[in-house]
Amino acid sequence: MFVFRDCCVLNRQIVNIISAWNTLWPQERKRQRAFFLFGLALILQLDIEGIRKFFHTFFRLPTWMWQGFLGSTLSSADLVLFAFYMFVIAPNDLRKGLIKHLISDPTGAIMVRTYLTI
């Protein structure tokens, strides 16, 4: 009986911990974070010319997009639109780098998995 009671207390504590974690990190914030980490990992892998091309493309986005990105006010859905728009206006070598990074870098898989979690 003593073990059963301890087990119930432990289960309740685990439920409380999970509830607190999900309150601090709702799915929307997890998606945004995964997107930001993907982009950060990409930029860190670029050479100086790649960084120049990336930011030249970034600041060609509509003002609300790049300002929203820098201000962390874009929703996860807005970030998907941001990514597609960035891909469309990017030069081909940057597009190739984005696809390669999405496929080969662990942050790409994490981002896709996080976005697909409902």
Q: What is the pLDDT of residues 55-68, one digit of tens each?
A: 999 999 999 999 99
Domain membership of residue 3 (yes or no) is no
Domain membership of residue 47 (yes or no) is yes
Handedness of CA 20, 106, 45, 36 (dihedral sign): negative
Domain membership of residue 97 (yes or no) is yes
Question: Structure pTM?
Answer: 0.81
Domain membership of residue 8 (yes or no) is no
Q: How many CA atoms lie within 13 A of 110 on its CB side?
A: 14
Domain membership of residue 2 (yes or no) is no
Query: How many structural domains comprise the chain?
Result: 1
Domain membership of residue 55 (yes or no) is yes
| 112: containing domain | 26-116
Domain membership of residue 17 (yes or no) is no
Instruction: Dig out the tokens for 66 from the structure.
Output: 């790049």
Domain membership of residue 18 (yes or no) is no
Instruction: Dig out the tokens for 116 from the structure.
Output: 């697909």
Indicate whether 1 pLDDT > 70. Answer: no
